[in-house]
Homo-oligomer: A and B are copies of this chain.
Amino acid sequence: MLNLQKAQPKFIETLRKQAEFTDAQLEEFLKLWEVKCLKKKDHHFRAGEICNATAYVNKGCLRRYVINEHDKEVILNFALEDWWIGDLESFFLQKPTIYNAQALEDSELLLLSRENFLKTCEQFPKYKAFHEDKIQRSHFATLKRISVTTSGTPEEKYLLLAQQQPQLFQRIPLHYIASYLGIEPESLSRLRKRLTEKPGKS
């Protein structure tokens, strides 16, 4: 369980407003959560497992990736503080996930088990709505991303990421960025060189 005084993840604030939880309700709700600590390189889950919890990144940073047909890791997204990481398909349909989630730094996750999640959804329709809204926004964002991954050049994708998640570049090795962009580390290195040589882009 979580200590209301101690752990105050951002999403709790949102919940207090959006889901109109009272303090008492919040306290009850927080009892349902568990803390999970991951060392750098630890996996939160691996392909083949079933995701039986929703996970909130309270501290640290993870990557979610798949292994493609050529046994190569392809990073689908990074999850930093205040993000959620999991596989909803596995969670809802109770089927093995195809994704892997690995900590890139020592990290702390907050977990709500499927069981407790479902219970909370029944008890607090507003929490259910909060969650569904999150899913919906993620869905729309994913759809938009398709057009970038389809037609964007590596350079465009790189600049977009640098703009959207600049913190990443301070925290994780570049070869992970390359994987996310769908190119080799060598190509990313040359791409960055080109960018610093041509314009005054930092």
Bound state CA distance, A27 and B72, in angstroms? 52
How distant is A143 from chain B, measured CB to nearest CB, in Å? 6
Interface residues in A61-81 by Cβ distance below 8 A to B read 66, 68-69, 72, 74, 76
User: Which one of A36-44, A48-56, A144-152 contacts B?
Assistant: A144-152
Besides A68-B151, A69-B156, 18 new A-B residue pairs in contact (Cβ under 8 A), listed by A number: A66-B147, A74-B147, A74-B151, A76-B143, A76-B150, A89-B140, A92-B136, A98-B144, A138-B139, A139-B142, A142-B142, A142-B143, A142-B146, A145-B146, A146-B146, A149-B149, A149-B150, A150-B180
State the oligomeric state as a number of copies. Answer: 2
Asked if A88 is at the interface of the complex by the 8 Å CB criterion, the answer is yes
Interface residues on A, range: 20 to 34
Chain B residue at minimal CB-CB distance from A68: B151
Chain B residue at minimal CB-CB distance from A98: B144
Asked if A182 is at the interface of the complex by the 8 Å CB criterion, the answer is yes
Residues from chain B with a CB closer than 8 A to the CB of A72 are: 151
How distant is A18 from chain B, measured CB to nearest CB, in Å? 16
Q: Are B142 and A76 in contact, with the CB atoms below 8 A? A: no
Q: Are B182 and A150 in contact, with the CB atoms below 8 A? A: yes
Name 13 interchain pairs, CB-CB below 8 A, sorted by A. A68-B151, A68-B152, A69-B156, A74-B147, A88-B139, A89-B140, A135-B139, A142-B143, A142-B146, A149-B150, A150-B180, A150-B181, A150-B182
